[in-house]
Structure 1
Amino acid sequence: QTLDALMLTLFALSAHAYSPALTPVEHGKPLAANSKWVARERSPSSQSIELLFAVKQTNLDVLHSKLMEVSTPSSPKYGKHLSNAAVHEILTPHPDDVLAVRDHLAAHGVTNISAATPNSDMIRATMTIEKAEAVLGGVKYMKLYHTPTDTVAHRILEPYHLPKRVAKAVDFVSPTVHLLAPRVAKTAQPSANSGLSLNTPKALRELYSVGSAVGKASANKQAVTAFLGQYYSQSALESFWSTYCDSQNLVCGQGLPKLVGDATTGRAGIESMLDIETITGLAGNIESEFWGFSGRSPDNIENEPFLKWLTEMSSTSDADVPKIFSTSYGEDENSWSKPAAERLNVEFQKAGVRGISLLFASGDEGANCEGSKFVPEGPASSPYVTAVGGTAPTSGFPSPGSETSIGLSSGGFSDYWAMPSWQTAAVAKYLSTASNLPSAATRGYNVSGRAYPDIAAQATDFCVTPFGCGIAGTSCASPTAAALFSLLNDVRLQAGKSTLGFLNPFIYENSASFYDVTTGSNSGCSFSGGWPAAVGWDASTGFGTPNYEKLSSVVATLP
């Protein structure tokens, strides 16, 4: 997790400074108190940095309404997704807001200014650190080091300030106070019956009733994301396919993945290779893409990698954009200020209304106990993404249904977002009927908040080339689930229908098409338990794991 000093949100507005943050965070704590990030020195004044100004959007209520219309199976407009042009037209910022940002940058001598999205709701400006410090009101950028992942980032450890008019025009500026939390897949010992319980492509296809299904629709595309130096290796992927696909006469992938982003090839990363090997290993004959962003472009310009991904997706044409993304990044929900997180929700909605499904690993911290309280994790806690929890093999694996909840599977309730209507009934049943629930008074969770995960998949005993077997984490589960939904998209595309898009309303209307996981629990605090699995939805495995055979029949009947 990121440290307190680096989870600074912007401070309250003074006469000449603005911040969208709700609560200021105390400074002065040692940088190493809660994280491996260490600030050692000032950032070089000549270092280039790319600032993104998130300009306030309009008609957010219209976007949300259209998202629910096209995503709810019972809606007469189900599947009638909007074009990228139509989405951006709805959200077009006020011209005066765009001008205020551009004028502020020009006043500081910044000339490399451009629209990062079709409607200028993100404005990109490249400049030196020295100039960025002036643009943001005299802040000081620091060079931060994360030794475990050998990552360097440039961020500020203080409030930033903007003229009042500019402050009114933007949701936030990045990269400033937020740091992406590096996540590394866990390396666990394989189960006692190791060779029998490994989650190979063959085993996963049996476990989730995929049978011989492979992609056949020419327009289908799937993608994984990677951040902070998690690179793709062609030789590692080809070796994985040779070992686990060719030898089993399985079709894996459809040619080599297309590489998108500023950080793709390099030394193989365990997270990145886990993602691309898993999604291509399970969803055969579907075109795949690897979207990689390191936080620094090839010409050494510092940037915010997560937002680079979102703006790249937002700027990619409908014909070219993948319709499934699996992302394994996550951190405490409050590591983004609420106004910034609200803007991320809009970016997620922009994808969903276009027919793009976003799946996120729920996290590897169980109920995420911090100081005896359960702390929600984002972006999985967002109502506009599909959060994927984790399971482990049980007796009879890989026969369908041979799964139990795994302790690392993160789940719980959001402190930021109200519970959406599409999940209220399922969650209410869990809270009223499940046994051995944690104490709300003791653990401080918010049962009126968005509940997650939505679904689950295997999260241990994965084999990743070139790192070996025994890899664990919901980073395994997200690409597994994404591959299955990619195959479901293919069923619809073959029939001339739309992709599934924003998945959650569909999932909650078709919960009987998932293998219900009713045993096990995620971890809680010390010796007390977390959220137990139960019949129906639960806060450890959601509705359970996908039954491809049932789901394929359901999606084929939808309009």
Structure 2
Amino acid sequence: MRLSLWLGLSLSAALARAAPYKGCQHKVKESIYGPPRGWVKQSPAPPNHIIELKIALPQPNFSVLEQHLWEVSDPDHERYGDHLSKEETDALMAPHQDSVDAVNEWLASHGFAEEHLIRSSAKDWVTIRVPVSLAEEMLDTTYHVYHHAETGDSVVRTTSYSLPEILHEHVDLIQPTTMFARFKAFKSTLHWAGADSSTSTPSSGTITGPAGNQVDASCNNTITLTCLRQLYNAVGYQTSATNGNKFGLTGYLGQYANIDDLQMFFQDQNPAAYGSNFTFVSVHGGINNQSIAAAGVEADLDTQFGFGLTYPTPGTFYSTYGEPPYIPDALETTNTNEPYSYWLDYVLSMSDLPQAISTSYGDDEQTVPYSYAVRACNGFAALGARGVSILFSSGDYGVGDGDPDPATQQCFTNDGRNVTAFIPEFPASCPYVTSVGGLVNIPETAVFFSGGGFSNYFARPSYQDTAVQGYLDKLAPGTYEGLYNPNGRGIPDVSAQAYDFLIVYQGEEGYVAGTSCSSPTFASFISMLNDARIDAGLPTLGFLNPFLYSTGYTALNDITEGNNPGCGTEGFNATIGWDPITGFGSPNFEKLKELVLAV
């Protein structure tokens, strides 16, 4: 909707509808101490710049949805696998009609008719397009352009906004306002180095892998599809192309999955898949530019290894619009930089979804407003209740704050105190997703950059109590006291290889590293398990964590070596059992298959 539409709105009609809000006192709804480290306030935002405001209405029945989630995800519950339908989750996420009416009335007072509103499937989100000047009037705030010196990104944001007091109980949050997350891909070194970056360890013969089987020694230098199948005990397992199983990957920030690169990769590492392709899905205007120069390292990595491991299972690649940096002078450019809600809106509106979906993006938890993190997390819970396994990379900076060099990290809280603290990642910290850490070498050890720790937003879920408390009990008294929240949700849950993955990028072979590698890898083996369950007439696994923490961990390869330094510390150590760097460890597919076919 262009600015001219606003000029055509009837001022008299708007004033007439404004009566219920005339003179109504605004009260601060949400504020932050200041922008996160690295963001600098610049000029006031151009008044005619168009932004999309997303308004979240309360979900009064979410606790009921959550109870369904626990029951259908618990292998010991009689309802295990009895997943909800789209219509059932929509009903449980829907707001009260009172909230719908109150927000409608407020929007009408500013000239918005129903045809100007975009509603989510459950009617719990309302999206409007407005010029900054009107947004400032509605929210009693002032927007500025903020610039990030390190990345060059710019966003239009504010540090506080208000609403009429009578609206507070009917609105959970409005964004983009106070959210400064940069939403980066998780690659520790962006280590596109060409195919000569492998180490000097022996590459001929075989070595013993974590499952006790023989693995090509070259896997200590170069990770390929064959290596992962050997390491994780899935050699010879063939998935179906027709049993209804599907596998999904997400792409953001202009990361385009190049099909020519994919075919070169298939030709080299999985010739049977050569000529096959994935289904492309555009979310909120996302595209998949096939210019070789536009190919994205992250998107190429995800699609090549994810779809290469699961072939011939049908694959879906979701591309969600949004590509920084924002140019403040381009008035028609919207810069939301909050893609989770757009992606969640889309997939929650679909009846037919991939049963396992991996995402390799995120940001420091503290850069995401708490209210927004909770709402996004609720969306992931709804997907889990519908039988979708959601996996996220745990992050690439150890316990640190985003600086890839542990020696220079400055891990400060963003609450005005500026005290040193470990920095967990979101969405990995959401208790309704499965977080995947990173490993390296054979025998497997924690890779130094593997993100891990404890959430400051989300309390430890009950399924983690025994495992996490067992780890905390092993720590020497006073270890890192005050640097982490011992009562928070522990990260990660599991782990997989994350270093020296050989991909094809812009027509050339080279290596990449990061938990961007580990999440699609682990998710691919979950997709294979779903394939096995479907063939056996069983429902898909859905939300994984209750299974993993009750019995699934017994079929994982425990990792007991390595640590994840950051914030001037050595970070956490891998140890026997669960730990906040490798979780419960890497998959043993055959052992997992036995377990999942027995529940």
The runs of 5 or more residues in structure 1 that have no matched partner are 1-13, 28-32, 395-401
Q: Mean alpha-carbon deviation: is it higher for 40-49 or for 328-337?
A: 40-49
1:383-532 correspondence to structure 2 within 5 Å: 383-394=431-442, 402-433=443-474, 439-441=479-481, 444-466=483-505, 468-509=509-550, 510-526=552-568, 528-532=569-573
Q: Secondary structure at the match of 1:210?
A: coil
1:309 to 321, 328, 343: 343
Displacement of 1:132 after TM fit?
2.5
Q: Do the aligned residues in 1 keep the contact of 2:34 with 2:159 (CA within 8 Å)? A: no
1:227 aligns to what? Answer: 252
Q: Count the aligned residue pairs.
A: 519
Q: Do the aligned residues in 1 keep the contact of 2:263 with 2:275 (CA within 8 Å)? A: no
2:408 aligns to what? Answer: none
Query: What is the letter of the counterpart of residue 211 of structure 1?
Result: V
Q: Do the aligned residues in 1 keep the contact of 2:340 with 2:376 (CA within 8 Å)? A: no
1:263-342 correspondence to structure 2 within 5 Å: 263-266=286-289, 267-295=294-322, 300-303=333-336, 304-317=338-351, 320-342=352-374
1:18 aligns to what? Answer: 28
Structure 2 CA distance for aligned equivalents of residues 331 and 212 of structure 1: 37
* Cα deviation digits, residues 55-89 of structure 1 (max 9, x gap): 11111221111100000100000000000101111
**Cα–Cα, structure 1 residues 81 and 265, in superposed 2: closer, same or farther, change >3 Å?**
same
- Residue 260 in structure 1 maps to residue 269 in structure 2: no
2:168 aligns to what? Answer: 167
2:94 aligns to what? Answer: 92
TM-score of the pair, normalised by structure 2: 0.81
The runs of 5 or more residues in structure 2 that have no matched partner are 1-23, 192-196, 204-217, 325-331, 402-410, 413-419
**Cα–Cα, structure 1 residues 362 and 520, in superposed 2: closer, same or farther, change >3 Å?**
same
Query: What is the letter of the counterpart of residue 255 of structure 1?
Result: N
Displacement of 1:15 after TM fit?
4.7
Q: Secondary structure at the match of 1:431?
A: helix
**Cα–Cα, structure 1 residues 109 and 141, in superposed 2: closer, same or farther, change >3 Å?**
farther
Displacement of 1:503 after TM fit?
0.5
Structure 1 CA distance for aligned equivalents of residues 91 and 463 of structure 2: 27
2:263 aligns to what? Answer: 238
**Cα–Cα, structure 1 residues 349 and 182, in superposed 2: closer, same or farther, change >3 Å?**
closer
Q: Secondary structure at the match of 1:359?
A: strand
Q: Secondary structure at the match of 2:262?
A: helix
Structure 2 CA distance for aligned equivalents of residues 220 and 151 of structure 1: 39
Structure 1 CA distance for aligned equivalents of residues 438 and 538 of structure 2: 31
Structure 1 CA distance for aligned equivalents of residues 431 and 573 of structure 2: 22
Structure 2 CA distance for aligned equivalents of residues 543 and 221 of structure 1: 26
Percent identity, aligned pairs only, is 35
Structure 2 CA distance for aligned equivalents of residues 286 and 253 of structure 1: 14
Q: Secondary structure at the match of 2:484?
A: coil
2:55 aligns to what? Answer: 53
* Cα deviation digits, residues 91-137 of structure 1 (max 9, x gap): 22111211222222222223453343222101121233333332222
Displacement of 1:146 after TM fit?
7.2
Q: Do the aligned residues in 1 keep the contact of 2:392 with 2:519 (CA within 8 Å)? A: yes
* Cα deviation digits, residues 118-173 of structure 1 (max 9, x gap): 2210112123333333222242252656774x7554x2233112112223211111
Query: What is the letter of the counterpart of residue 335 of structure 1?
Result: T
Structure 1 CA distance for aligned equivalents of residues 275 and 344 of structure 2: 24
**Cα–Cα, structure 1 residues 356 and 557, in superposed 2: closer, same or farther, change >3 Å?**
same
Give 1 or 2 for the bigger CA radius of gyration.
Answer: 2
Q: Do the aligned residues in 1 keep the contact of 2:560 with 2:574 (CA within 8 Å)? A: yes
Q: Mean alpha-carbon deviation: is it higher for 254-263 or for 80-89?
A: 254-263
* Cα deviation digits, residues 368-408 of structure 1 (max 9, x gap): 261542222211111111010000013xxxxxxx3111110
Displacement of 1:244 after TM fit?
2.1
TM-score of the pair, normalised by structure 1: 0.87
Q: Do the aligned residues in 2 keep the contact of 1:54 with 1:173 (CA within 8 Å)? A: yes
1:349 to 373, 381, 389: 381
**Cα–Cα, structure 1 residues 253 and 62, in superposed 2: closer, same or farther, change >3 Å?**
farther
Structure 1 CA distance for aligned equivalents of residues 254 and 104 of structure 2: 31
Structure 2 CA distance for aligned equivalents of residues 273 and 136 of structure 1: 41
Query: What is the letter of the counterpart of residue 129 of structure 2?
Result: T
**Cα–Cα, structure 1 residues 129 and 485, in superposed 2: closer, same or farther, change >3 Å?**
same
Structure 2 CA distance for aligned equivalents of residues 214 and 133 of structure 1: 56
- Residue 131 in structure 1 maps to residue 134 in structure 2: yes
Q: Secondary structure at the match of 1:390?
A: strand
1:175-254 correspondence to structure 2 within 5 Å: 175-184=176-185, 185=187, 186-188=189-191, 189-193=197-201, 196=218, 197-216=221-240, 217-246=242-271, 250-251=272-273
Q: Secondary structure at the match of 2:162?
A: coil
**Cα–Cα, structure 1 residues 333 and 180, in superposed 2: closer, same or farther, change >3 Å?**
closer
1:26-175 correspondence to structure 2 within 5 Å: 26=34, 34-35=37-38, 40-111=42-113, 112-142=115-145, 144=147, 148=151, 153=155, 155-175=156-176
2:406 aligns to what? Answer: none
Displacement of 1:348 after TM fit?
1.4
Structure 2 CA distance for aligned equivalents of residues 373 and 385 of structure 1: 24
Q: Do the aligned residues in 2 keep the contact of 1:362 with 1:411 (CA within 8 Å)? A: yes
Query: What is the letter of the counterpart of residue 100 of structure 1?
Result: A
* Cα deviation digits, residues 198-238 of structure 1 (max 9, x gap): 11111111111111223214311111112222222222222
Q: Secondary structure at the match of 1:465?
A: strand
Q: Do the aligned residues in 2 keep the contact of 1:260 with 1:289 (CA within 8 Å)? A: no
Query: What is the letter of the counterpart of residue 531 of structure 1?
Result: F
Structure 2 CA distance for aligned equivalents of residues 225 and 288 of structure 1: 11
Q: Secondary structure at the match of 2:116?
A: strand
Q: Secondary structure at the match of 1:225?
A: strand
**Cα–Cα, structure 1 residues 192 and 169, in superposed 2: closer, same or farther, change >3 Å?**
farther
Q: Secondary structure at the match of 1:18?
A: strand
Displacement of 1:487 after TM fit?
0.8
Displacement of 1:339 after TM fit?
2.5
**Cα–Cα, structure 1 residues 351 and 146, in superposed 2: closer, same or farther, change >3 Å?**
farther
Query: What is the letter of the counterpart of residue 137 of structure 1?
Result: D
Q: Do the aligned residues in 2 keep the contact of 1:102 with 1:113 (CA within 8 Å)? A: no
Q: Do the aligned residues in 2 keep the contact of 1:456 with 1:477 (CA within 8 Å)? A: yes
Q: Secondary structure at the match of 1:187?
A: coil
Q: Mean alpha-carbon deviation: is it higher for 92-101 or for 80-89?
A: 92-101
Query: What is the letter of the counterpart of residue 68 of structure 1?
Result: W
Displacement of 1:40 after TM fit?
5.0
Aligned Cα root-mean-square deviation (Å): 2.5
Q: Mean alpha-carbon deviation: is it higher for 199-208 or for 341-350?
A: 341-350
**Cα–Cα, structure 1 residues 133 and 234, in superposed 2: closer, same or farther, change >3 Å?**
farther
Q: Do the aligned residues in 2 keep the contact of 1:108 with 1:134 (CA within 8 Å)? A: no
**Cα–Cα, structure 1 residues 100 and 358, in superposed 2: closer, same or farther, change >3 Å?**
same
Structure 2 CA distance for aligned equivalents of residues 207 and 548 of structure 1: 9
1:30 aligns to what? Answer: none
